[in-house]
Structure 1
């Protein structure tokens, strides 16, 4: 006897339609993380292009500059081997007063911060440090002494450098006596009277105009080093081993004062050979570019899973409440729209500031999804609700990526609140009844 088929028995897919849709949403979110990771790679590529543009501008204008000196280098004969080495004498007092004249040079779509530094270096030498070095005066080659000044990129020098010391003028020429202290710099021979340590006393002064890009730093080589720098650049970043003792930063620019004692650094007033790293305690100023759009875009991409996941959850709850399913292709289109937001953000932020780019990109994305929802559900009320929810979500993400120090705290609290809201709205859903309803509908 043949048993007739029961056409009223619901299929597995009909019985668990809502559960399978939830599983599909999870899979779709994970799949959309692939284009999100590709967007992260796009950010890295654009950063590399920006680095290349900065390198090209710096190569023509001048790289970051390190100013070290002036200091006195005197050759001497090593008693044990007869070889020639150098003893280095640092200034007793060193004062640097100057102004940075900043510019923004454009290479393609990228801006590079450069400067022209107008500096005056002055101070005094003292024979005390030389006497403490332990080198016998008879071993010193006084007539081959030289004043040396370390400059990272000689192409940035904009004037003929001369130093006035004890009433005499000493012109500088390119090159250094050796590479014990630095690899690049300028020097001027100063023939001293043999054995006359008193000739080292007295004051010096010199003018230096040097171009560079991004950053300028100074070495605290004086027993007391005082550096006073001002500029019209409104966004400085004070870098290096020592913060300024006094500073002023406002919309008109900045001024900063450093005072460093020899007790604060890692090297003495005189030594021989390359025993110390003279750059170990450098400090200075970085011309900070406030529109770090790639860094902020990268941080925004990290929240892609949150934006996509919450958006899909919202549509899933709409399905449950309206009893009208959204086709998987519609989920895919909405997810792609959420991903395209990041490419819009990157491309627009290269032309405008990040805040305005974020506002335009999020506005376009929210508008597109809201219009698509209105067309799919034939309901302006649902579309307005989706748009308002996405507006709050994108606003929350912007607050997180803008708050660097409190980003983790705000993100954690925000996620907790989002989870609480989802749990609140889903508390009365009878999940067991959904299967029965879907079976009945089938």
Structure 2
């Protein structure tokens, strides 16, 4: 005798077999899985912050990024002004920049480690040469005296700890000693000073200068184009330079043996004059700086963060496969099983970050991929109860992670690859489900 189901039994049957409800549950689970994905991104950010901290700590011991600013010639001027029957004496400073400045440098990079973190440092050999034109006119109104005997040169060096050998300046035919510190801190906060007591005898002439600088630093080396014509030429065996600042190289060559870069900057290209009196041009000088940064090729944390941003894609693809198996092959899959698979997918990024801190990123990616695919495929065997369906899932996961790996390598085309890949996935899903009658479909109900 056939008994009629009670309303509660009917509701229970609808809950367990409704495709629409299953889709709603899967959608909610997908959104919930974004929470551990966000937590993974926080972990990556935290590890990256620890890496930055290690870089700063090593740099503080070795020497920070270096900036060369100068040389700048400073001549004290004494002016007298009459105010209310009194004569007021004011000392001003006349700043003169080189007519020509040439820098040739070799940068020898090195990698230091702080725990598991790697820091790029360098040793540089810089040869600085140029000339000063001492025939420029000085403002004569109220000028009482030009103190040529108090004149001095200042070369700005951002971190004096990086100087590894004594510096000797060749000024004309004379060799002059160098003393530490800057006498013009409002212009150059850190640097070395060279006194020029006999400058009066050279007024009206063009005086050449030259000095060598054995300078070490971390990651970054930059220059301020103080010459009326500034030419900088740098070479290094480092294969991943980043040229930054206000000017890019006029010529550059980067290959497997390193890089060679050449800059030429004219005084018309910058926003400060060749000479001035008592005006603070510090900000304008800094704005004109340019140089090179020795970067690690596409930092592993950047790759991990970019891969984590695709977590939603891998979760949706995997859940979609499980859902299609469920409705097309009548295999009931509990939401808890979806959640376990989602957590396994999220674990991939934690594995990737932790492994990439100790081994090569590509190898870490391969190991993490194999572990997660193996875990999900073995679990799906007991759920699908069909080796062909599990094999199909494995192929799809391999395709998804391979697509993600290629996208990570193509930095400039990542967005294009991502959008094309998602379009193909959606198109294939629409194709394979085109004949499904969703109104007659139920979950886990045998025909």
Q: TM-score range by the shorter chain?
A: over 0.9
SS in structure 1 opposite 2:381? helix
Aligned to 2:120: 113
Match of 1:407 among 411, 414, 430: 414
Aligned to 1:14: 13
Report if the CA contact (8 A) 1:133-1:270 is conserved: no
Aligned to 2:286: 279
- Pair 1:201-2:200 in alignment: no
The 10-residue stretch of structure 1 (349-358 or 217-226) with the greater mean CA deviation from structure 2 = 349-358
What pairs up with 1:356-371 in 2 under 5 angstroms?
Answer: 356-371=363-378
The 10-residue stretch of structure 1 (394-403 or 233-242) with the greater mean CA deviation from structure 2 = 394-403
Aligned to 2:102: 95
- Pair 1:29-2:30 in alignment: yes
- TM-score, length basis structure 2: 0.92
- Pair 1:191-2:189 in alignment: no
The 10-residue stretch of structure 1 (210-219 or 403-412) with the greater mean CA deviation from structure 2 = 403-412
Report if the CA contact (8 A) 2:134-2:202 is conserved: no
> Structure 2 CA distance, aligned partners of 1:246 and 1:172?
34
Report if the CA contact (8 A) 2:78-2:91 is conserved: yes
Report if the CA contact (8 A) 1:291-1:353 is conserved: no
- Say if 1:179 and 1:193 are closer, same or farther in 2 by CA, change over 3 A: closer
Report if the CA contact (8 A) 1:15-1:436 is conserved: no
- TM-score, length basis structure 1: 0.93
Match of 2:312 among 302, 305, 309: 305
What pairs up with 1:341-420 in 2 under 5 angstroms?
Answer: 341-420=348-427
**Superposed displacement of residue 314, structure 1:** 0.7
Gaps of 5+ in 1: none
- Pair 1:427-2:426 in alignment: no
**Superposed displacement of residue 8, structure 1:** 7.4
> Structure 1 CA distance, aligned partners of 2:206 and 2:152?
15
Report if the CA contact (8 A) 2:325-2:384 is conserved: no
- Say if 1:79 and 1:278 are closer, same or farther in 2 by CA, change over 3 A: farther
Matched length: 435
Match of 2:179 among 173, 178, 192: 173
> Structure 2 CA distance, aligned partners of 1:401 and 1:100?
30
Report if the CA contact (8 A) 1:15-1:435 is conserved: no
- Say if 1:45 and 1:232 are closer, same or farther in 2 by CA, change over 3 A: same
> Structure 1 CA distance, aligned partners of 2:171 and 2:44?
53
Report if the CA contact (8 A) 1:291-1:354 is conserved: no
SS in structure 1 opposite 2:239? coil
Report if the CA contact (8 A) 1:133-1:271 is conserved: no
Report if the CA contact (8 A) 2:79-2:143 is conserved: no
Report if the CA contact (8 A) 2:123-2:215 is conserved: yes
What pairs up with 1:42-191 in 2 under 5 angstroms?
Answer: 42-80=43-81, 82-128=89-135, 130-131=136-137, 138-191=144-197
What pairs up with 1:289-328 in 2 under 5 angstroms?
Answer: 289-328=296-335
> Structure 2 CA distance, aligned partners of 1:174 and 1:248?
36
Aligned alpha-carbon RMSD (Å): 2.1
**Superposed displacement of residue 88, structure 1:** 0.9
- Say if 1:193 and 1:22 are closer, same or farther in 2 by CA, change over 3 A: closer
Aligned to 2:84: none
SS in structure 2 opposite 1:431? coil
> Structure 2 CA distance, aligned partners of 1:263 and 1:203?
22
**Superposed displacement of residue 436, structure 1:** 9.8
Report if the CA contact (8 A) 2:78-2:144 is conserved: no
